[in-house]
């Protein structure tokens, strides 16, 4: 009887641990999905930024001249 009681108690403890483990697994799955979504968005923004920097940038001299005129 004592052995059966211990087995029954251990089964209850295992069920509780299993529930926590399953919840943790769900959280990890959700975190992975968000990570993948964010990675995809970051790559998209990165590609657009790279596309913008591939254009020739205008010279900084006219901008400096304009700033000098505004300060005068």
- For 2-53, the pLDDT digits (tens) are 999 999 999 999 999 999 999 999 999 999 999 999 999 999 999 999 888 7
| Residue 53 pLDDT | 77
Structure tokens that stand for 14 in this block: 């295992």
d(CA 66, CA 58): 14
The DSSP 8-state label assigned to residue 51 in this structure reads H
SS3 of 59, please? coil
**Which of 10, 29, 7 has its CA nearest to residue 18?**
10
Is the predicted pLDDT of residue 62 greater than 60, yes or no?
A: no
d(CA 9, CA 3): 10
pTM over 0.85: no
Q: E strand or H helix at 35, and its extent?
A: helix 2-53
């Amino acid at each position: 009887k004592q052995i059966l009681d211990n087995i029954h108690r251990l089964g209850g403890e295992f069920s509780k641990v299993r529930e926590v483990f399953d919840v943790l697994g769900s959280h990890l799955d959700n975190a992975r999905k968000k990570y993948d979504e964010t990675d995809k968005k970051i790559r998209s923004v990165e590609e657009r930024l790279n596309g913008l920097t591939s254009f020739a940038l205008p010279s900084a001299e006219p901008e400096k001249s304009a700033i000098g005129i505004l300060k005068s």
